[in-house]
Structure 1
Amino acid sequence: MANIKSAKKRILVNRTKAERNKAIKSGVKTAIKKVEAAVTAKDKDAAIAALLNATSVIDKATTKGVYHKNNAARKVSRLAKLVNNI
């Protein structure tokens, strides 16, 4: 355990940020799974709706600094490609 006050604070802040990032990443994964489930069910309308939601969730995660913009673009592109191939 750290002895210096600022180091103790950094530990607490890093823990808080890690929990926040973990929650955001979990939400992104859930949104992606919903799109993939709709695609495997061949439900075009549900897939499009899930894609719009997933895109929004991924973009929000990117603006919060959880994902790099290229990583987010790649995820959205792959999901759009899946939906378009139904």
Structure 2
Amino acid sequence: MANTPSAQKATRKIAARTATNKSRRSRMRTFIRKVEEAIASGDHAAASTALKAAEPEISRAAGKGIVHANVAARKVSRLNARVKALAV
């Protein structure tokens, strides 16, 4: 348990930041899941639309430090490749 006022404040700040980050991470994962579900259904149009919505969310998560920039780029790239493969 934090004893000093500054340590107590730090604990409160960490708790608030954790809640915000958890929400952002969950939001990103939801958008990714929507793309994956559209890919699984085989609907190219729906998958493209879902990817267009997910891409800025993933980038925003990277910008906020929720995921590393390279992780975000890899996720977008792999989702894009899977959506592109549906068109064939």
Specify if TM > 0.5.
yes
- TM (normalized to structure 2)? 0.93
- Give every structure 1 segment of 4 or more consecutive aligned residues whose post-TM-superposition deviation is greater than 4 Å: none
SS in 2 for 1:85: helix
| CA deviations over 1:42-83 (Å, ceiling 9, x no partner) | 111110010011111001111111111001111111111110
Partner of 1:52: 52
- Give the fraction of aligned pairs with identical amino acids, expressed as a percent: 42
Q: What are the equivalent positions in structure 2 for 1:1-86 lying under 5 Å apart?
A: 1-86=1-86
> Could you tell me how far apart the structure 2 residues matched to 1:25 and 1:69 are?
14
> What value does the CA root-mean-square deviation take over the aligned residues?
0.8
**Residue identity in the other structure for 2:57:** V
Distance in 2, matches of 1:41 and 1:2, equals 51
Task: Give the distance between the partners of 1:2 and 1:42, measured in 2 at CA.
Answer: 53
What letter is aligned with 2:45? D
> How many matched pairs?
86
Cα separation, 2, equivalents of 1:30 and 1:9: 32
CA distance in structure 1 between the aligned counterparts of 2:78 and 2:27, rounded to whole angstroms: 17
For structure 1, list consecutive stretches of 5 or more residues without a partner in the other structure: none
The residue type equivalent to 2:19 in the other structure is E
User: TM-score, normalization: structure 1?
Assistant: 0.95
